């Protein structure tokens, strides 16, 4: 295998990581209603993809390693894309925390400036507090970390929010139109 083939394979892997990661971010932008970003991510994704595919098709018979590089880049791009989407600042999620130590979790979350709504409920083993926190996607892990620090035995779920009433949203979540 020559250095030019190694370089070609490396560029294909990098291109595929880029286009598949952009595809993941495009999907998140579509679901979050960010049409402009979805368009931009889609344009970049397809531009990179066309060049990567053309390089593979032009050389696949003489150099099968290009096909392997294409597949490795796609698989790695999926991993990178899912990792990146957690850091994206757009999109909102609701974290639902179920705890026997609801007041401690509530106080810990509120002391960090988070809006929290609580409910009383009945779990398998008796009364529990249910705490709902709406945050931007990139702040979700922070909420989980704070809740688990206050009550390591708490149970939580996280869901994407498609639509929320802005009048009830935390001020930091409201998207201002320019």
Q: Does 36 lie in the same domain as 98? A: no
What pLDDT does 175 receive?
Answer: 46
d(CA 22, CA 16): 10
**Does residue 43 lie within any of the structural domains?**
yes
Of 85, 115, 133, which residue sits at a domain end? 85
Over the Cα atoms of the chain, what is R_g?
Answer: 22
What pLDDT does 166 receive?
Answer: 60
Range of the domain at 62: 3-85
Of 85, 118, 144, which residue sits at a domain end? 85
Number of helices (H) and strands (E), helices first, in the chain?
5, 4
Q: Does 64 lie in the same domain as 128? A: no
What pLDDT does 124 receive?
Answer: 87
What pLDDT does 86 receive?
Answer: 75
What pLDDT does 85 receive?
Answer: 81
CB 55 within 8 A of CB 8: yes
Task: Give the pLDDT means over successive 10-residue stretches in the chain (178 positions).
Answer: 90 96 91 89 96 92 94 96 80 92 96 94 92 90 96 94 64 47
**Does residue 178 lie within any of the structural domains?**
no
CB 130 within 8 A of CB 155: no
Using DSSP's 3-state secondary structure scheme, residue 77 falls into: helix
Q: Does 145 lie in the same domain as 97? A: yes
């Amino acid at each position: 295998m020559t250095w030019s083939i190694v370089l070609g394979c490396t560029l294909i892997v990098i291109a595929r990581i880029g286009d598949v990661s952009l595809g993941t971010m495009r999907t998140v932008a579509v679901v979050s209603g960010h049409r402009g970003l979805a368009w931009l991510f889609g344009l970049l994704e397809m531009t990179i993809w066309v060049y990567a595919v053309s390089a593979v098709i032009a050389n696949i018979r003489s150099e099968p390693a290009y096909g392997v590089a294409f597949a490795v880049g796609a698989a790695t791009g999926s991993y990178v894309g899912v990792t990146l989407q957690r850091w994206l600042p757009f999109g909102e999620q609701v974290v639902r925390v179920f705890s026997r130590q609801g007041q401690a979790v509530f106080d810990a979350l509120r002391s960090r400036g988070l809006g929290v709504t609580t409910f009383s409920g009945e779990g398998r083993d008796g009364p529990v507090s249910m705490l709902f926190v709406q945050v931007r996607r990139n702040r979700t892990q922070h909420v989980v970390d704070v809740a688990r620090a206050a009550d390591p035995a708490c149970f939580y779920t996280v869901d994407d929010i498609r639509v929320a009433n802005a009048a009830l949203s935390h001020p930091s979540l409201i998207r201002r139109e320019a």
